[in-house]
């Protein structure tokens, strides 16, 4: 049983007034692959290092398998860590690198060899056991680092951005191997990354963190379909969600010179602090081209188009009368443009003005004051 629990865990570095991780409550189930994701400097590596025992916990406690490990030495926690930069010994062979921790622990030689060979077979490294790290590719070195963790047979795997040093193709290949490997071994895993594509494709659940505060935890589809707030909505998904603040007029969102109907229950949740505005979000695939006469559609001036063969993307600016008193404010960072996915056979030309219809069932509505979900 290797369930991991963070209870009100806080880490404040010396000389800082603000916590790097603030009152974290998180549970990783036995055998679960949980991905901790967030932008650089949000506190995800600090969380991992506190679990490993490499960082002090200022408040709260951490439990592994029901046992309080908050003040326990790293070597006594029965965890194995895979780092971003492999951290292999250059003068040792692959086999010696993988078995080094067991050798230090005084494990018999034949047992070490047996475990190393078993891990090498799982990782497709059997033919490289007598090579030195310099004779391996980046992906193979990262697999050796994984093997070093596997032979320990720990209760918990900790992985700190292990794919960020690999090229794009190798990254895709290796992330598939890691996910399959974790399911095969069934070891509780906390995987840290800033890449939300990795998070969506690998994790049983994802925890999103921002400025040391946990924003939302859930299955990948939950976070994609029902983000709890504006930050999660904009962070999860690629291309990211279109998010704009629009004035609300007679229960409708004013988008440029057009209006879009809003569900009454969401509009009724707006407060005085929201100043009669709403944050409307939609994913590029949840909108489509409309005819000029369609109701509930807005005008978009096309600035750029992309034909990817299987998909087409339109990038543009919401068309508005500049003399209007209230303009829509964009919150998503897509070069300040609205993105819509269409069939590549229907791509308009650059400079065209098109009408865009948003699927009402796939709209994401948030309160501007709290940035929390309304619908």
What are the pLDDT digits (tens) for 62-71? 999 999 999 9
Sign of the four-CA dihedral 317, 319, 323, 328: negative
Cβ-contact 13, 22 below 8 angstroms: no
* pLDDT bracket for residue 323 (50, 70, 90): very low
Report how far residue 175's alpha carbon sits from residue 135's, in angstroms, rounded to the nearest whole number: 22
Contact 182, 33 (CB under 8 A): yes
Query: What is the Cα–Cα distance from 80 to 119, expressed in whole angstroms?
Result: 14
Distance linking the first and last C-alpha atoms of the chain: 38
Distance from C-alpha of 155 to C-alpha of 153, rounded to nearest angstrom: 7
Q: How confident is the model at residue 324 (pLDDT cuts 50, 70, 90)?
A: very low
CA distance linking residue 253 with residue 191, whole number of Å: 40
Q: Indicate the CATH number for domain 4-234.
A: 3.40.50.300
How sure is the predictor about 181, in pLDDT bands with cuts at 50, 70 and 90? confident
Domain extents for the chain? Answer: 4-234, 236-366
Q: Which of 194, 223, 219 is nearest to 205 (CA)?
A: 219
CB within 8 Å of 134: residues ≥ 6 apart: 90
Confidence band for 226, pLDDT divided at 50, 70 and 90: very high
**Contact of 86 with 148, CB cutoff 8 Å:** no
- φ, ψ of residue 310 to 5 degrees: the values are -85, -25
Extract the runs of DSSP E, i.e. beta strands, from 239-349.
Answer: 242-249, 252-255, 258-261, 277-282, 287-290, 297-307, 312-318, 329-330, 338-342
> What pLDDT digit, counting tens, does each position of 6-46 carry?
999 999 999 998 999 999 999 999 999 999 999 988 999 99
CA-wise closest residue to 27 among 59, 2, 55: 2
The domain 236-366 is placed in CATH, from the list 3.40.50.150, 3.30.565.10, 2.40.50.140, 3.40.462.10, at 2.40.50.140
Average pLDDT over residues 204-214: 95
Residue 225 pLDDT exceeds 90: yes
Burial tier of 203 (Cβ tally within 10 Å: 0-12, 13-18, 19+): buried
């Amino acid at each position: 049983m290797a369930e991991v629990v963070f209870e009100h865990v806080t880490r404040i570095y010396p000389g800082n007034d603000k916590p790097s991780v603030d009152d974290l409550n998180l549970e990783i189930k036995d055998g679960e692959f949980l991905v901790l994701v967030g932008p650089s400097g949000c506190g995800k590596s600090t969380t991992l290092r506190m679990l490993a025992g490499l960082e002090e916990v200022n408040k709260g406690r951490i439990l592994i398998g029901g046992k309080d490990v908050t003040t326990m030495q790293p070597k006594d926690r029965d965890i194995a860590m895979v780092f971003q930069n492999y951290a292999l010994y250059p003068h040792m062979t692959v086999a010696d690198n993988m078995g080094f921790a067991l050798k230090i622990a005084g494990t018999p030689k034949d047992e070490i060899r047996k475990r190393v060979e078993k891990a090498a077979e799982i990782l497709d490294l059997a033919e490289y056991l007598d090579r030195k790290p310099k004779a391996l590719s980046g992906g193979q070195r990262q697999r050796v680092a994984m093997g070093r963790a596997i032979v320990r047979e720990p209760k918990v795997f900790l992985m700190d951005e292990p794919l960020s040093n690999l090229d794009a193709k190798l990254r895709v290949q290796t992330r598939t191997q890691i996910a399959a490997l974790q399911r095969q071994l069934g070891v509780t895993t906390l995987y840290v990354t800033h890449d939300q594509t990795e998070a969506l494709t690998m994790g049983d659940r994802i925890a999103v963190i921002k400025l040391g505060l946990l924003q939302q935890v859930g299955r990948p589809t939950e976070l994609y379909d029902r983000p709890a707030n504006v930050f999660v909505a904009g962070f999860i998904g690629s291309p990211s969600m279109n998010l704009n603040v629009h004035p609300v007029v007679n229960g409708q969102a004013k988008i440029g010179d057009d209006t879009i109907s809003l569900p009454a229950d969401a509009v009724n949740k707006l407060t005085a602090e929201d100043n009669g505005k709403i944050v409307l979000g939609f994913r590029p695939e949840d909108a489509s081209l409309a005819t000029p006469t369609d109701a509930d559609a807005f005008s978009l001036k096309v600035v750029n188009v992309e034909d990817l063969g299987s998909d087409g993307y339109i990038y543009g600016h919401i068309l508005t009368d500049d003399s209007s008193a209230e303009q829509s404010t964009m919150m998503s960072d897509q070069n300040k443009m609205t993105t819509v996915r269409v069939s590549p056979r229907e791509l308009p030309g650059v400079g065209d003005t098109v009408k865009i219809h948003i699927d009402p069932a796939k709209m994401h509505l948030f309160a501007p004051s709290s940035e929390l979900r309304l619908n």
